[in-house]
Amino acid sequence: MSEVEETIKRIQSHKGVLGIIVVNSEGIPIRTSLDNSTTVQYAGLIHQLTMKARSTVRDIDPQNDLTFLRLRSKKHEIMVAPDKEYLLIVIQNPSE
Amino acid sequence: MSKVVKSGTKGNVFSSKAMKKSSIMNTKSQSRFTSRRSDISVSHTHSRRSVTLSESKLTDGKSAGGQRLGLIVLDEDGNDVTPKPLHSYDPTVQKSGFFGSDNQSTVGTPTDVMSFTSVYQSFAQPFSRSIYGSTSNRSAKSKRSSIESSGEITESGPEVTTGFADVMTVRREEVEDLTDEDLNKMVDVILEETDTIWMFEQKGIAVSEESEESQTIQTKNTAYEELCKTKEGNDRFAERGMQTFNFAQKHKEIQAEKVGLTDAAINVTSWDMYDTYASKEEPPASDSNEGIIEKRGRSLGGGGERRGSRDGSVGTSRITESRASVLTMSVMGEPEPEPSPQPTTTETNETGINPQWEKISSSESILKHLVVMERVVTENIYQPKQATYRGMSVLIDPDKEIEDAENAPGGGSPDIMTAIGPTIDRLWSYSSPMTKGRNVSSMTWNKVNPDILAVGYGQFGFNEQNKNKGSLTCCWNLKNPEFPERVFHSKASVTALDFSSVYPNLLAVGLYDGTVCIYNVRNTTDQPVVDSFDCTGKHSSPVWQLCWIERERGLGEDRSEILISISADGRVVQWSIRKGFECSDLMKLKRTSSKNPQKKKEKAEALISRQAPGMCFDFHAKDSNMYLAGTEEGLIHKCSCSYNEQFLDTYTGHTGPLYKVRWSPYCPDVFLSCSSDWSIRLWKQTELKPVLNFFSTTKAVHDICWSPYSSTVFCAVNEGAVEIWDLKTNTLDPLITNLASPGMKFSCAIFSLNSNSVLVGDSDGQVSVYQLRNMSDKNEDKVGVVFVLSWVEAPMHIVELVWSYGLYCNDSDLSMVAAFMPTVKLLKLLHCVGKQT
């Protein structure tokens, strides 16, 4: 198995991790460990949020760019690693 | 209705050539009165007839020579029904400057004329442009086209024709097939300022009183009024009526094609513009962009996307992307019941999604992102522990329930903690499924990054060597205690490790079969960079210790480093990686006959080898030429690199194989040794007998390690317990003892460089991190821990050793004396100790 697959499996089996989603640049999930409806929901919403966040960062300084986004809520934490071609989303419940 | 007559010649032209089907012309002649000249040109384009533009002269010949319409209109039958120009240029016709002065150019009814006379007389001259020229583009000269078609027919001939020609531009509608390439090709739209086109101008009929002409105009006005008054009975004026022809009117309707309108919108952001400029400078990667556009075309589907891509082809590639992304956003943002047009899971749409995943998963960036993500996920769980490791305050989750507060890491209230006294607190352990069950044989920190720890997993004993299982070397990172960052496999057990300081990415590994390999931890490959397999002078027995030593070269080169290894075949070997992997003997550890007079038998024993197996060594911190080597016999030899035949000194005291020898990091003359004879002994360089002995256990002591923070603290690991000794407080018992769980044996220990913790490896493959708490009174440490060890062995004299930082004092009493260090070293200690607070 490639390193990428192994790392994804490890993250998935990490303590408290609810799911991992890879979304392409249009907001369509291409790999997920959650069920369909949740995935679609997360993919669409997080994609928009990431675009907005990136736009904000770059508006302030066009040479800057967004590297990581963490969204902590009461129940869990959503971590997003954006890239030009995809988005990597991990949802974790850290207090488990 | 007053008839509008242009020039006489023109009227002839119209009447003579009966253009039966040119009803347009007729209507035009009627409507000329009110319409603008410019409309004529427009209406022609709506004609059903084909309109051709030709530069040739008019073929049907006009009566007025020199007219070049440049336009031929043919009706269905092919007859030429090109409309005649409204004005034919007659060079004989002079420009009429004044109304009424030229009989040939009657310009309408007197009444009409008169009303404008006062104004237009002055402006008549400048009326040199024809009305036809009103729509021409050549507006460089001022065009005053009079719109009131009733008047002002002072037209200049050439301008008429040219204006006409310009006006009669062909609107040939060609239906082109728009190919994909056309849609996607970049069309540059250049916006330029055009010449000024005068569509309409109307001069005011009022003149300001202050202007220059007001006087003349006023006189004219009064003259005119006089004239009007005298008109009535004047002989010079005669009234006459005329009748115009009322031709039958005909309506004609035309239906034009609806002009298609497309809306395009974009949100421009400052980074968008920046990207556009940035991409213009580099050669645009149009292939990838087109690829992306095509992919979008495939994956989205639907009219919205096509519109997006077509619009995108208009602008530059960057705008395309952002536009498309904006469109995508709008598509996604709409709360329509339309979900993303394709099903989302990979099963149902494999053609579009899976290749994407393949492409993404093979890109490098996703691996980096996954590594970062893994660390972040790990950090979420380990954050409190890691914070205490670093000495930072622990973040308390505000949403955590209150009942957890008691169990919050960091222990209870400070009072309780201090009352307990010095303890060690287990924070976490580095372990992963692949390391389970393996014995930890050695650990070493990276010299540059104190978060990286290399751990070797290998069995100590011969019987436990397991060829099939192989052995591991793992590089762990503080940021991920669950999975090692690097894993190197080797066949034989790993017994020694060391990181290089000159090249911090080189890790030297010593194996049970005598092999020495060097790995480059930057790569993730499993192969060593160099292997001693081919060397002639390689070891034939387990390599028990490795060390990179820096040597100063006199030639002014960069710091050079050599690798020293000691092995059970009795040799201390130095390796260099300058050319290949070379080694040379530094010292052969010869068996020395025991000086103990009681054991005379030894001389008669047959010796298997003349060399004593070496177990450990340690180079002096200050003097890189001198080192100590411990052997299996229990002797410690002080050796020098310059002499490879003889030892400088031999320290006797241990009765079993030495497992570790360590110089004190603070006191240059003191070293510590541990062996399998259950003891730890403290030596001074000048004394051949140990200064202090520590007997605390009945198990072999595998490892000792000085604390980098305190000069009197060291950690000893025996099979059953981890012990922290503090010589300042107690020389008979360890300060802290942490027993091992049953079935597990501790095997090695190392102090952490950037935290007040000790890491202990055990036989189960775990490396546990213990943090030391309440170790000592902080104030004392700051001042400088100096104390007097008094040791009484021989009752004859009392030898006192003061552990200072260069300061010795003699005291005849057995006592603990605190002394102050010289300032220089005090600062150095403060720097280390400061992290404790």
> Is residue B765 helix, strand or coil?
coil
Report the chain B residue with the minimal C-alpha distance to residue A70.
B376
- Contact list, B380 vs chain A (CB under 8 Å): 16, 77, 92, 94
Domain locations in chain A as residue ranges: 3-92
Tell the residue number behind the tokens 């991992």, with chain if given.
A20
Query: Which residue in B296, B373, B380 is closest to A26 by CB distance?
Result: B296
Pick from B466, B465, B525, B473: nearest CA to B494: B473
Distance from CA of B768 to the nearest CA of A (A): 19
* DSSP result, B577-601: -SSSSEEEEEEE-BPPPP--TT--H
Distance from CA of A59 to the nearest CA of B (A): 5
| Averaged pLDDT of chain B | 66
Does the pLDDT at position B721 exceed 80? yes
Distance from CA of A74 to the nearest CA of B (A): 6
Cβ of B360 within 8 Å of Cβ of A30? The answer is: yes
For residue A52, what pLDDT band results from cuts at 50, 70 and 90?
very high
Report the chain B residue with the minimal C-alpha distance to residue A29.
B344
Q: Give the C-alpha separation, B320 to B328, whole Å.
A: 12
Q: Give the C-alpha separation, B219 to B216, whole Å.
A: 5
Pick from B93, B86, B95, B68: nearest CA to B134: B86
Please report the pLDDT score of residue B468 as a whole number.
64
Cβ of A62 within 8 Å of Cβ of B270? The answer is: yes
Does the pLDDT at position B589 exceed 70? yes
| Averaged pLDDT of chain A | 89
The proportion of chain B whose per-residue pLDDT surpasses 90, expressed as a percent, equals 0
- How many pairs of residues across A and B have Cβ atoms under 8 Å apart? 129
- The answer as to CATH 3.30.390.50 being correct for domain A3-92 is no
User: Chain B within 8 Å of A45 (Cβ-Cβ)?
Assistant: no
Q: Give the C-alpha separation, B752 to B517, whole Å.
A: 25
Cβ of A24 within 8 Å of Cβ of B369? The answer is: no
Distance from CA of B824 to the nearest CA of A (A): 44
Does the pLDDT at position B302 exceed 70? no
β-sheet with B560-567: strand ranges across:
B543-551, B560-567, B571-576, B582-588
Q: Which of A23, A30, A93 to mutate to test the interface with B (most CBs of B within 10 A)?
A: A30
Please report the pLDDT score of residue B488 as a whole number.
87
Higher pLDDT, B800 or B267: B267
User: Chain A within 8 Å of B396 (Cβ-Cβ)?
Assistant: no
Contact call for residues B501 and B447 (beta carbons, < 8 A):
yes
For residue A42, what pLDDT band results from cuts at 50, 70 and 90?
very high
Does the pLDDT at position B627 exceed 50? yes
**Residues near B834 by Cβ (< 8 Å), separated by ≥ 6?**
none
Q: Which of residues 55-84 of A touch B (CB under 8 A)?
A: 55, 58-59, 62-63, 68, 70, 74, 77, 79, 81, 83
Distances (CA, A) of B220 to B103, B121, B211: 22, 10, 15
For residue B139, what pLDDT band results from cuts at 50, 70 and 90?
very low
Pick from B648, B776, B622: nearest CA to B710: B776
Q: Which of A36-40, B365-369, B493-497 has the highest mean pLDDT?
A: A36-40
Cβ of B373 within 8 Å of Cβ of A79? The answer is: yes
Contact call for residues B289 and B317 (beta carbons, < 8 A):
yes
Q: Name which of B36-50, B159-173, B615-629, B751-765 the model is least confident about.
A: B36-50
Q: Which of residues 773-802 of B touch A (CB under 8 A)?
A: none
Query: Which residue in B274, B342, B370 is closest to A88 by CB distance?
Result: B370
- Contact list, B275 vs chain A (CB under 8 Å): 62
Q: Which residue type is seen at B632? A: E
Q: Which residue type is seen at B570? A: G
**Residues near B392 by Cβ (< 8 Å), separated by ≥ 6?**
none
- Contact list, B524 vs chain A (CB under 8 Å): 3
Task: Compute the average pLDDT of residues A57-72.
Answer: 91
Task: Tell me the two tokens of residue B656.
Answer: 């079993």
Distance from CA of A17 to the nearest CA of B (A): 8
Cβ of B374 within 8 Å of Cβ of A14? The answer is: yes
Q: Which of A77-91, B288-302, B591-605, B809-823 has the highest mean pLDDT?
A: A77-91
Cβ of A86 within 8 Å of Cβ of B270? The answer is: no
Please report the pLDDT score of residue B168 as a whole number.
53
- Contact list, A1 vs chain B (CB under 8 Å): none
Please report the pLDDT score of residue A40 as a whole number.
93
Query: Which residue in B345, B365, B482 is closest to A36 by CB distance?
Result: B345
Distance from CA of A89 to the nearest CA of B (A): 9
Does the pLDDT at position B484 exceed 60? yes
Q: How does strand B757-762 pair with strand B767-773?
A: antiparallel
Report the chain B residue with the minimal C-alpha distance to residue A81.
B369
Does the pLDDT at position B188 exceed 50? yes
Please report the pLDDT score of residue B147 as a whole number.
40
Contact call for residues B522 and B474 (beta carbons, < 8 A):
no
- Contact list, B374 vs chain A (CB under 8 Å): 7, 10-11, 14
Q: Give the C-alpha separation, B53 to B48, whole Å.
A: 15
Please report the pLDDT score of residue B87 as a whole number.
67
Q: Which residue type is seen at B788? A: V
- Contact list, A59 vs chain B (CB under 8 Å): 269-271
Does the pLDDT at position A45 exceed 90? yes
Query: Which residue in A7, A17, A27 is closest to B370 by CB distance?
Result: A7
Distance from CA of B381 to the nearest CA of A (A): 6
- Contact list, A95 vs chain B (CB under 8 Å): 397, 399-400
User: Chain B within 8 Å of A39 (Cβ-Cβ)?
Assistant: yes
For residue B593, what pLDDT band results from cuts at 50, 70 and 90?
low
Q: Which of A6, A17, A28 to mutate to test the interface with B (most CBs of B within 10 A)?
A: A28
For residue B159, what pLDDT band results from cuts at 50, 70 and 90?
very low
Q: Give the C-alpha separation, B411 to B420, whole Å.
A: 11
ipTM comes to 0.81
pLDDT in tens, B378-429: 877 787 777 777 777 666 666 554 443 334 444 444 555 556 677 788 888 8
Q: Which of residues 255-274 of B touch A (CB under 8 A)?
A: 269-271, 273-274
